[in-house]
Amino acid sequence: MPDEEDRVNVTAQCMLHEPPVPVVVEDAENDGSKVTCPKCGKDYGSWGEVKAAMTEAATAQQQEKLTAPFQGLEGWKVTRD
């Protein structure tokens, strides 16, 4: 069982619509299950593939968050008399 805090909070969406439509998976317990758009029927491949892509996106997001607070320090100088 994964920790609640470790869970990846990313939703895959079909970007062919405005606003984008969240995709659906036939069976979230089965990595081979198909992920499709409920609106246009586009096939996004297997759930396992989509999960891997979402995890990658979430990792990139977290890394951005970690570095964001330090961006304000750019341009500071330590001077010595």
Q: List interacting residues with Zn ion (CB under 5 A).
A: 14, 16, 37, 39-40, 42
Provide the minimum distance between the beta carbon of 52 and Zn ion in the complex, in angstroms, as a whole number. 20
Nearer to Zn ion, 2 or 41 (CB): 41
End-to-end alpha carbon distance in the chain: 57
Nearer to Zn ion, 8 or 21 (CB): 21
Least Cα distance to 22 among 6, 2, 44, 49 occurs for 44
Nearer to Zn ion, 12 or 37 (CB): 37
Q: How is residue 29 written in tokens?
A: 């317990």
Q: How is residue 2 written in tokens?
A: 């994964």
Provide the minimum distance between the beta carbon of 18 and Zn ion in the complex, in angstroms, as a whole number. 11
